[in-house]
């Protein structure tokens, strides 16, 4: 599907520049969710049909992050929950290196291991590659930083980590859905699905490399992590899936019903076209404010009274680290950018 054709699947109010906070659902996702809610309201159907959206989403996500095997993808609820078994499996006394501006979903799980002697070193994002050394056991970072949209040097970080035998844990929440990347290079790629992949909050996905899974214990395992979930309702013995599904948690059905069509649409349009569109709009804002263009769909600007100016113009953006953060996606338009520029330059 061409991007301009896909844009007809949204009718947002002008001025939504905040996908980095939450994405807007395309019409197929919204319709699927409304249908499921209507069925739930009157008890028209059983839940199994809603549950099929999980594996549909799992397969689409696997393709979206570079074509990893779907059986290496776990379905959860939040990034921190998906990273928790990785953190718990770190040997006592391990060292984790993290950017100093890292969103805490990819920081607190490591810090929570302090009582076992796990140490977390925070360094500037630009110095992350050089900070990886022989004492590093795991490197954790966001592919795109939430605070300012900065892109991590993914390939270089992975190469430095491999050179020193360190694991790599990536939070791709602010990247997946607009930025093409090879998720299979990392050991873990976790994504909260309510931002750039435009699902309802309550669903998250993670690639877990097979060699890493061997080290992990599925402490949150329930019936849905079973080899056959429908034969795992009652009683012993423990009978978990052999692949990444053993780290699944029981799904919040409606989150997945709304997510699956959005993921399919992203694949249909293609990430290269989405990236080109999103970054072009971000750069239109930057150049309009006299700033150099960048490579991210998320930008931050420092303009006196910027938040108040944008609010008066009906532009919805965010404030992070004291700066206005604007973020652009498929449904964003030139008119949205110009509305923000008029507010910030008038």
Residue pLDDT, tens place only, 211-225: 999 999 999 999 999
Better-scored residue on pLDDT, 319 or 292: 292
- pLDDT, residue 319, reads 80
pLDDT at position 320 over 80: no
**188-198: per-residue pLDDT in tens?**
999 999 999 99
Confidence of residue 165 (pLDDT cuts 50, 70, 90): very high
Average the pLDDT over 316-337 and give the result: 91
Q: How many domains does the chain have?
A: 2
Grade residue 306 by pLDDT with cuts at 50, 70 and 90. Answer: confident
Nearest-angstrom CA–CA distance, 57 and 262? 9
CATH of the domain at 74: 3.40.640.10
35 found inside a domain: no
pLDDT of res. 144: 98
Please report which confidence band the pLDDT of residue 37 belongs to, taking 50, 70 and 90 as the band edges.
very high
Reported as a single tens digit per residue, the pLDDT across 237-246 is 999 999 999 9
Same domain, 317 and 218: no
pLDDT score recorded for residue 307:
86
Digit-coded pLDDT (tens) for 100-139: 999 999 999 999 999 999 999 999 999 999 999 999 999 9
Residue 37 domain-assigned?
no
Which residues lie below 8 Å from residue 159, measured CB to CB, with a gap of 6+? none
Whole-number pLDDT of residue 181? 98
Q: Taking residues 130-155, what's their average pLDDT?
A: 97
Q: Let me know if residue 41 belongs to a domain.
A: no
251 lies in the same domain as 278: no
303: pLDDT confidence band, cut at 50, 70 and 90?
A: confident
pTM: 0.96
| Same domain, yes or no: 254 and 186 | yes
As a whole number, mean pLDDT of residues 143-170 equals 97
Question: Do 18 and 84 lie in a common domain?
Answer: no
CATH number at residue 281: 3.90.1150.10
Co-location of 167 and 294 in the same domain: no
Residue 229 maps to a domain: yes
What span, in angstroms and rounded, lies between the C-alpha atoms of 98 and 84?
A: 16
For residue range 48-76, list pLDDT tens digits in order.
Answer: 999 999 999 999 999 999 999 999 999 99
Last residue of a domain, one of 241, 267, 293: 267
Closest by CA to 189, choosing from 145, 130, 222, 142, is 142
The residue among 238, 267, 296 that closes a domain is 267
pLDDT for res 321: 66
Distance separating alpha carbons of residues 290 and 211, to the nearest angstrom: 48
C-alpha dist (Å) from residue 79 to 21, 149, 170, 174: 15, 18, 10, 12
Same domain? 255 vs 219: yes
| Distances in whole angstroms, Cα of residue 84 to Cα of each of 107, 122, 235, 251 | 11, 19, 26, 17
* Residue 341 confidence (pLDDT) above 70: yes
Give the pLDDT score at 148: 93
**What's the pLDDT score for residue 305?**
85
Same domain, residue pair 9 and 94: no
Residue 191 · residue 174 · CB < 8 Å: no
Q: Which domain holds residue 162?
A: 48-267
Instruction: Please report the pLDDT score of residue 322 as a whole number.
Output: 67
Residues 207 and 230 occupy one common structural domain = yes
Domain boundary among 267, 291, 318: 267
Distance separating alpha carbons of residues 224 and 232, to the nearest angstrom: 8
């Amino acid at each position: 599907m061409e991007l301009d054709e896909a844009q007809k699947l949204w009718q947002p109010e002008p001025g939504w520049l905040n996908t980095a906070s939450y994405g807007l659902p395309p019409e197929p996702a919204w319709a699927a969710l409304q249908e499921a809610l209507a069925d739930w309201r009157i008890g028209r159907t059983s839940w199994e049909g809603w549950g099929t959206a999980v594996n549909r989403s799992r397969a689409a996500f696997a393709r979206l992050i570079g074509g990893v095997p779907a059986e290496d993808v776990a379905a959860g609820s939040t990034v921190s929950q998906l990273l928790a078994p990785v953190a718990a499996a770190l040997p006592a006394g391990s060292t984790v290196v993290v950017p100093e501006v890292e969103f805490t979903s990819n920081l607190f799980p490591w810090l929570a291991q302090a009582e076992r002697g796990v140490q977390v070193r925070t360094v500037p994002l630009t110095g992350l590659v050089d900070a990886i050394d022989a004492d590093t056991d795991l490197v954790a970072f966001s592919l795109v930083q939430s605070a300012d949209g900065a892109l991590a040097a993914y390939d270089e970080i992975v190469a430095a980590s491999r050179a020193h035998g360190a694991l790599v844990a990536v939070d791709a929440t602010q990247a997946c859905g607009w930025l093409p990347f090879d998720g299979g290079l990392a050991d873990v790629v976790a994504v909260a699905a309510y931002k750039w992949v435009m699902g309802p909050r309550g669903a998250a996905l993670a690639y877990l490399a097979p060699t890493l899974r061997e080290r992990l214990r599925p402490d949150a395992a329930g019936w849905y992590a079973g080899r056959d979930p429908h034969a795992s309702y009652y009683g012993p013995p423990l009978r978990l899936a052999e692949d990444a599904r053993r780290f699944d948690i029981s799904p919040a059905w409606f989150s997945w019903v709304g997510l699956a069509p959005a993921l399919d649409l992203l694949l249909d349009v293609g990430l290269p076209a989405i990236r080109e569109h999103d970054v072009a709009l971000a750069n239109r804002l930057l150049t309009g404010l006299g700033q150099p263009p960048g490579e991210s769909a998320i930008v931050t600007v420092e303009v006196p009274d910027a938040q108040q100016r944008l609010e008066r113009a009906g532009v919805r953006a965010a404030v992070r680290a004291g700066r206005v953060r604007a973020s652009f996606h498929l449904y964003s338009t030139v008119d949205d950018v110009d509305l923000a520029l008029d507010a910030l330059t008038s």
